[in-house]
Amino acid sequence: MAVMTYREALGQALAEEMERDPDVFLMGEEVGVYQGAYKVSKGLLDRFGELRVVDTPITELGFAGLGVGAAMVGLRPVIEFMTFNFSLLALDQVFNSAAKVRYMSGGQFKCPIVFRGPTGAALQLSAQHSQALESPYLHFPGLKLCTPATPADAKGLLKAAIRDDDPVVVMEGELLYALKGEVPEDRELLVPPGTAEVKRPGSDVSIITHGKMVHVALQAAAKLEQEEIDAEVLDLRWLRPLDIEAALATVYKTNRVVCVEEGWPYLGVGAQISTLIQEEAFDYLDAPVVRVTQADVPMPYSKNLEKLAKPSVERVIAACHKVLYR
């Protein structure tokens, strides 16, 4: 077990998979000479050469399409978007090609591609560069999507994504890259699709969340503990495919659910989770499911307004009180 940062864990996953499988390559803006906008690909150009660590022009639709084509003919590309905000330019290749080629070719082509990069807000990057885009990506069948919250999960999820034969979207967090944590040195550390993890067991209320918000939830749970409220934090890790059993198990256990996400409420992840719960576990609910999300507005640039718009520890605690009728 080694302690490393989230960005180092991602870099280790890339390096291990590129060593293991010569078909794996990394492509994106500034991934080579500059070693990645967030230094995830540090050292990879030197180790694997410019055929496998490919710097691209600022052409998201172009290099996403190159990646899909390469995947269709047998390579395993990892496409880095500097942030998922920029991936909006590439969505036709992601939604209409990557997500559909297996289906539309009747299984003749598979598309083992990874799209990765940070999602969600950092600090004062304003409306266009602070978006949590899980929800639009989740809307399209044909894509898998995971959201590592810890260095260990970053390694295990990215490695599982690279080895998957379908397109996988790996959404990281800009504010998570410097997060340190223990990471197993196991080269076979894989977090397979559809495996959630209870990050903190509890019995009074379930906070179901993913990605960066796992940490907000854990902080809220620690504060709730002082009030003798025992909150469980379930990190979904994979939003598609979803670990339905884990989501229902926590409902059976606590009967009260708060969904926390960085994105907007409308048709958000929490909307999907609460629908699932009312469909499958209605008789186990002792309170309506409550969601904590970003405010339903473009992210303000102003520091104080940005703070108010984001989900916070205080809002998670308030939501827990609400479902506990406190």
Residue list 166-185, contact with another protein (CB under 8 A): none
Least distance in angstroms from the C-beta of 122 to another protein: 21
C-alpha dihedral (27, 10, 244, 132), degrees to nearest 10: -70
Confirm if 166 and 107 have CB atoms less than 8 A apart: no
- Sole residue written with tokens 């998670």: 316
Fill in the per-residue mask, 285 to 304: x = in contact with another protein (CB under 8 A), - = not in contact.
Answer: xxx-----x-xxx-------
Is 60 annotated as catalytic?
A: yes
| 50 is a site residue for another protein (CB under 8 A) | no
Can you tell me the distance from the alpha carbon of 195 to that of 235, in angstroms, rounded to the nearest whole number?
A: 9
H/E stretch holding 205 reads strand 205-209
Can you tell me the distance from the alpha carbon of 48 to that of 3, in angstroms, rounded to the nearest whole number?
A: 25
Residue 63's Cβ-side half-sphere holds a number of Cα atoms within 13 Å equal to 26
- Give the one residue of 131, 255, 272, 274 binding another protein; rule: CB under 8 A: 255
Least distance in angstroms from the C-beta of 24 to another protein: 41
Closer residue to another protein in complex, CB, 33/282: 282
Can you tell me the distance from the alpha carbon of 63 to that of 151, in angstroms, rounded to the nearest whole number?
A: 27
Tokens of 226: 């002082």
Closer residue to another protein in complex, CB, 75/276: 276
Question: Which one of the listed residues 16, 17, 29, 60 is annotated catalytic?
Answer: 60
Least distance in angstroms from the C-beta of 54 to another protein: 40
Closer residue to another protein in complex, CB, 19/286: 286
What are the C-alpha distances in Å from 109 to residues 40, 160, 277?
Answer: 30, 20, 35
| 325 is a site residue for another protein (CB under 8 A) | yes
Nearest to 47 by CA among 24, 63, 64: 24
Cis peptide before 77 (omega within 30 of 0): no
Tell me how many residues contact another protein (CB under 8 A): 15
| 264 is a site residue for another protein (CB under 8 A) | yes
Is 321 annotated as catalytic?
A: no
Amino acid identity of 16?
E
| 282 is a site residue for another protein (CB under 8 A) | yes
Least distance in angstroms from the C-beta of 121 to another protein: 16
Sites of contact with another protein (CB under 8 A): 255, 264-266, 282-287, 293, 295-297, 325
Question: Which residues belong to the active site?
Answer: 60, 129
